[in-house]
Amino acid sequence: MKTKIIYLVLCFVGTVLPYWQLIRWLLEHGVDGKLFMQELLANRISIFFSLDVVVSAIVLIIFIRVESARLRLRQGWLPVIATLLVGVSLGLPLFLYMRELSLERCASRSQ
């Protein structure tokens, strides 16, 4: 299987799995920002994972911006938005998919 197809499948998985849990939580509790933050930061382990994801998202956004400029990706902003709306689980595979497409185009031009 081509790498770009794997990245595309991971985009789907990276969207469905997190939102599956978020939607279940919203159906149970409604839009309750205070409760959401209380449960997100309920203990040291959840804080650990929360901070890990936030740092990873910041690093990913910087990486996307730098690599998008280097590769001249026209829609380099799209994985940034995906990261902010869904998370690293969508932003990273989406960027890697777009990067593969760009590298394929460059390779076909140079042949």
Assign 21 to helix, strand or coil: helix
Per residue in 9-54, pLDDT (tens digit) is 999 999 999 999 999 999 999 999 999 999 999 999 999 999 999 9
> Which residue type occupies 77?
W
If you write DSSP's letter for every residue of 59-102 in order, what string do you get? HHHHHHHHHHHHHT-TTTHHHHHHHHHT-HHHHHHHHHHHHHHH
Judged against a pLDDT cut of 80, whether residue 110 lies above it is answered with no
Q: What is the pTM of this model?
A: 0.91
